[in-house]
A and B are shown apart, each in its own frame.
Chain A
């Protein structure tokens, strides 16, 4: 396939040539020249050349002299504006490009998150995610997560036109040693693909015969994975892929762009019921405690969400009740849950997060930028129109028709709008990629970040802004007699100056709003850097060993060996082992902990209590802050020691208000720990500061920590405290442990600071984009202010000349200009701060530890704006002082 020119440009060309018999030949000639230029000068140069050529050729054909003789020459005259008034033309095109380009890009991202369903999904309006409430957030996976038996109890309801469950994401390892790479696996039921309505790109999807216990392992590849690992070889069907410790036969490839029910790319889909460890496990499929699955349903025709919710809740309750009667474990919390339906697009569902909220705010912000840009263009066009009043009057006096004058004004506006729109498309295209990787990491880029709706949107707005503004002065010119204009202008007409002041005011106040937003987000980000996680996360590294086989005794032994190896690594302070792979991520054990004096735990809004257990040195290595009592001593880790316990501050205050927690105890039920004898109430020996679990804003999280005795089994994770930057240790830790045993397939090394950093993500996005947009707005508004002042000075040069002839000092002239600037900035600032304060309450929800009505931010913004305003006033003021009185008067 040869390298073809930019598609959009070629379409434009074909459209322009639609009436010509030569169309196909011309397209071909241009392709040929494009290809050779591209070879010599690269894609960018060739693309730019191509666009220019398309416009030049297209213009010849569209503005056909035979049909539109006048319009053709008007357009040509209009294009000359770039030569005759380059500053003006550049300012308009620049403003349009930035304002609209930024908007188009934001629109693309918002569209991806909020408006468009994942690709290839059919009739997404009838699809729902199933949410639950009334359980607290029982599982760390949140109210979308669901157990497999729970799914089975609702899937066949008649109100549903189908249901499917999937396990969203397992990261598996392919290959080993230095060749090891990651693959994202999604487990899905056989119903998954038909429910979404997607068709395979190659081969087939799995069906009920594949999705059952004992079936031979099969896999469907994601398109990206097929490309990466197999170079899109169609012979992949029937070949095998090895993921983790299992090998699957490839039976199909998903179509390009298909990412399942969510937006993040998936590498491999496998049937969930196949029962292969690592994909899923039999206990997970049978247990109502394994909240690992997400459930999607399609509502039958005419079924309301309320009906479906009621029926699903009933079926769920019946299922849990039957399980409890059958003596299936501790399911207290399953009864009493309510099921809800939520939009198929997760960002619109009830569980939408700070990311979505910030995206919406940013969409609002980009609309503000658009308003500012339009105001500025209107402003510039008005100035230009007023400036040409005299010229128009002269031409009218010479007998040029009014209609012709109107068309000329129209043509000029059109040319500027076209140039601006085109530049905006380029800005959108180039900024799109950056925005995507910032806002939507892990979500594959759509093929082209620009779509036709977007182009239509841009065109509409540009035309409105430029053409309306360009025509107004012309219309005004129509109404006045030429003589009036000529007489007036000799005294220095200042028509339209009020409208222009108002537009500038609008720009200044909207910029203020944006800058305040930027300030608040930057401060939020700053606060998140100082946020208290409750433990000393800076130099902690979490290590997880991925094993070939599932052998518990071997796993314990490997972990103990790993501890010895790592302790000998220079720079390592301490190493401890824990009972969960990710210590300090929080393991939720609500149903199995009972504090003394209580029959059961209250339902906690944020989930929990979370449990943490580690080997000797755990409390010190993790850096828990002890508030009361003591940490664990060497004796507490003895195999036969009475099992001591520590609780978090909120646990102590919540379970035993007003009492001394050190006199209390907590019963750990079987299942939480491995236990043979009775379930003793374990004494609380210390209280530590609360830890965060899911987000930096977590407060009042209940948690419990206990020691793992020296020889106890069940070791699953490693926590390492190092000196200095944990990133420096990632490679050496992996190297040491990979060679430890052939049983170790892959070593995950995860600095704890990375995890905390990810929690800051949405504020980072907010701070970056608000700042970019805020600065953009500031530049555009300064440009607007400058043009108003420069224009005023130019129009009043005669008056200024007379004044300085009469002995006005430089100071007076400067202050004349600056006073106007100060008035505009002052009023704009007050309006803007007012608006920002009004929006404060709703903005508060997405800020972190910063009051939305924030005098500090307001004052910084004021200083920045005044500074920019003075800069904008500087040149016009200087010009005013350098007007030569004689020359100014003689010029009339």
Chain B
């Protein structure tokens, strides 16, 4: 798989991160995916995706050690950011899609 190609879920995750801006914590990302894209992603699948995308260099995270949420019982919290590589991959896939969509609309109307 070439490094600049990203799958559908990866794309959505990156977009959700950008949408959540400074609140890009895992639970929020999941909520955004569900609310805005109507996509329910299982927790396990989402975390695996984060790991995979981090390995590909598409996203990175920042640890907030001393977070003020007591329910976490001292466990650290992380905030996600899309890397430059991630943004580039997003742009690329958008362009690819748009060019593929070109002139398709009337065909779809017929169906």
Contacts and interface: CB of A to CB of B under 8 A. Distances in A.
Interface of A: 1-4, 20-22, 24-36, 53, 56-61
Given A57-B44, A60-B45, A24 B71 contact: no
A36 B27 CA distance: 13
A31 B71 contact: yes
Nearest to A66: B52
A33 B47 contact: no
B50 A22 contact: yes
Contacts of B110: none
Interface stretch (B8-16, B74-82, B83-91): B74-82
Nearest to A29: B26
Given A2-B70, A25-B26, A31 B47 contact: no
Interface in B8-34: 25-27
Contacts of A31: 71-73, 75
A25 B73 contact: no
B66 interface: no
Interface residues of B, number: 23
Contacts of B36: none
B95 interface: no
B71 A36 contact: yes
A4 B73 contact: yes
B27 to A, nearest CB: 6
B71 A35 contact: yes
26 contacts: A2-B71, A2-B72, A3-B71, A4-B73, A21-B54, A22-B51, A24-B75, A25-B26, A25-B78, A26-B26, A28-B75, A29-B77, A31-B72, A31-B73, A31-B75, A32-B27, A32-B69, A32-B72, A33-B27, A53-B43, A57-B47, A58-B44, A60-B42, A60-B45, A60-B47, A61-B44
A714 to B, nearest CB: 64
B51 A20 contact: yes
A31 B77 CA distance: 11
Nearest to B44: A60
Nearest to B52: A66
Given A36-B71, A60-B45, 8 more contacts: A4-B73, A20-B51, A24-B75, A25-B26, A26-B26, A26-B47, A30-B43, A56-B44
Contacts of B75: 24-25, 27-28, 31
Query: Most chain-B CB neighbours within 10 Å: which of A24, A25, A26, A36?
Result: A25
B101 to A, nearest CB: 31
A57 B51 CA distance: 13
A794 B54 CA distance: 54
Contacts of A60: 42, 44-45, 47-48
A534 B61 CA distance: 81
Nearest to A36: B71
A1 B47 CA distance: 27
B108 to A, nearest CB: 34
Contacts of A4: 73
Query: Most chain-B CB neighbours within 10 Å: which of A3, A29, A31, A33?
Result: A29
Contacts of B48: 60-61
Interface of B: 25-27, 42-45, 47-48, 50-51, 54, 61, 63, 69-73, 75-78
Nearest to B72: A28
Contacts of A59: 44
Contacts of A36: 71
Contacts of A28: 72-73, 75-77
Q: Which 9 A-B pairs have the closest CB atoms?
A: A28-B75, A60-B44, A35-B71, A57-B44, A28-B72, A25-B78, A2-B70, A2-B71, A32-B71
Contacts of B70: 2
A57 B63 CA distance: 21
B73 A24 contact: no
A21 B50 CA distance: 10
Contacts of B72: 2, 28, 31-32
Nearest to B45: A60
A56 B44 CA distance: 6
Nearest to B42: A56
A36 B69 CA distance: 11
Contact of A56 (B43, B50, B76, B77): B43
Query: Most chain-B CB neighbours within 10 Å: which of A3, A26, A28, A35?
Result: A28
Nearest to A38: B71
Query: Most chain-B CB neighbours within 10 Å: which of A31, A33, A36?
Result: A31
A790 B77 CA distance: 55
Nearest to A39: B71
Contacts of B50: 22
B36 to A, nearest CB: 20
Contacts of B42: 56, 60
B76 A25 contact: yes
A21 B69 CA distance: 21
Query: Most chain-A CB neighbours within 10 Å: which of B27, B70, B75?
Result: B75
Contacts of A20: 47, 51
Nearest to B30: A29
A1 B50 CA distance: 30
B76 to A, nearest CB: 5
Given A25-B78, A29-B27, A57 B43 contact: yes
A53 B48 CA distance: 14
A111 B71 CA distance: 35
A338 B65 CA distance: 67
A500 B81 CA distance: 60
A35 B69 CA distance: 11
Contacts of A25: 26, 61, 63, 75-78
Contacts of B26: 25-26, 29
Contacts of B51: 20-22
A284 B40 CA distance: 76
Nearest to B43: A57
Contacts of B54: 21
A13 to B, nearest CB: 11
Contacts of A53: 43
